[in-house]
Amino acid sequence: MLALSRKKGETIVIGDGIRITVLEVQGNSTRLGISAPREVSVMRSELLGRIRETTAVGLPFTAALGR
């Protein structure tokens, strides 16, 4: 794992099409802006885990979203 320090307004570039920008830092919370091509899925890890658990028992992934 690569660990980087960034300040508000600074950006990290991954490959040719993914940019992660620090939008705001308040206490222990950091807001990030992510720009990526449409074909690249961007998702919070805890949501991805819920989707995997839900589909493993045969429910549609939208059930993990509360829909």
Which residue bears the tokens 């990290």?
12
CA distances to 14, 26, 27, 30, 35 from 42, in Å = 13, 23, 24, 17, 9
Residues 38-66: tens digit of each pLDDT = 999 888 888 888 878 777 767 665 666 66
- The whole-chain average pLDDT of the chain stands at 87
Mean pLDDT computed over 13-39: 95
CA distances to 15, 32, 34, 47, 64 from 44, in Å = 20, 12, 12, 5, 13
- Of 65 and 25, the one with more pLDDT: 25
Q: Can you give the residue ranges of every domain in the chain?
A: 1-36, 41-67
The answer to pTM > 0.95 is no
